[in-house]
Structure 1
Amino acid sequence: MMSSQQNRTDESLIALRRILRATEIYARDLAQAAGMTPAQLRVLQIVDEKNSTTPKALSDQMRVSQATVTALVDKLVTRKLVERESSKLDRRQINVVMTDLGRKTLAQAPDPLQQRYTRAFAKLADWEQAQLVSSLERVASMLDAINIDASTVLTTGELPVDPKFD
């Protein structure tokens, strides 16, 4: 017979695995429907919301390195979903702007997993939100994952390549 502690450990691991599977399934569905990753979709959403933004602002909002944003934007530029333009106010500054194809692709993309989470999280009582954040931060700490570069995009897959080691 299993102890209650072993049961809780197993239940927590099952819950973690379900979360990981949900992100994997969403990423696969997004790749099939729109041909992009959740992080690329998030870049499109931010650029669309702001009409024009800088790579630095994208990096800050997504909470990832500028190297990661550069790689994401490069892929979107290659697919003609966004363009880089020199700022009209400061020619040294580069802005990322949406193309018509980018808008069309964004409109056809499935509902992002993090938006579903955000809507459900917003419905929780304040104390429940605080408890959940605390518990998730504790899990990240238990997995030595506190300092891993992560954004608000729920995704799995390859880690971005650090240009220093490329």
Structure 2
Amino acid sequence: MEKYEELLLALRKVIRAIDLYSKQLNKYSGLTAPQLLILREIVARDGITASEVAQNITLSPATVSNVIERMEHRQLIHRHRSATDKRRVLLYLTEQGRALLSKAPQPLQEDFIEKFQALDEWEQSLLLSSMQRIAAMMDAERLDAAPVLEVGSYHKMDSGQ
């Protein structure tokens, strides 16, 4: 097998691992990876704004806003206008949101981060530079991405599309 074939196979394995985790997360908790991250961010600081959540988890404000809309519709979170500053809308978990979060597994990237940080500094740098080079070779440098390990849309995956 050529080296480029081995590399592409390794990339497909990584994508597949993320995909399997995403499906498993949705199956067992009914949450997507971004939903899980947002719920965890809200529980860490009740009364946080959507823009603060977006900044803290490095997702776009538009993405966070859409996810919050869906979670509010599912009654996992609720919004309240700040009593001190009427321009600020603060986010809080509902009891249903707290119950769901307490049963949810650890996000995939937390396990990855623990293992990555256990590596020697030189190996961390090597992996980082290699992945940055791969992204450049795939013309993916300018793509909008966040450090959330997720593949595709759960609704599409669940409906077999």
Q: How does the TM-score come out when normalised to structure 2?
A: 0.89
Partner of 1:164: none
Rounded to whole Å, the distance in 2 between the matches of 1:146 and 1:119 is: 25
Partner of 1:49: 44
Cα separation, partners in 2 of 1:88 and 1:128, compared to 1, 3 Å: farther
Give 4+ residue runs of structure 1 displaced > 6 Å after superposition: none
Matched, 1:72 2:62: no
Partner of 2:7: 12
| Structure 1, unaligned runs of 5 or more | 159-166
Letter paired with 1:65: S
Aligned length: 154
| Structure 2, unaligned runs of 5 or more | 154-161
Structure 1 segment 110-149 matched on structure 2, within 5 A: 110-149=105-144
Partner of 2:25: 30
Task: Determine helix, strand or coil for the equivalent of 2:146.
Answer: coil
Q: How does the TM-score come out when normalised to structure 1?
A: 0.87
Report how far residue 110 of structure 1 moved.
1.9
Letter paired with 1:143: M
Backbone CA RMSD of aligned residues: 1.5
Matched, 1:104 2:99: yes
Asked if the contact 1:64/1:149 (under 8 Å) is kept, the reply is no
Deviations 1:85-125 (A, max 9, x none): 11233111111111111111111112221111011011011
Letter paired with 1:13: L
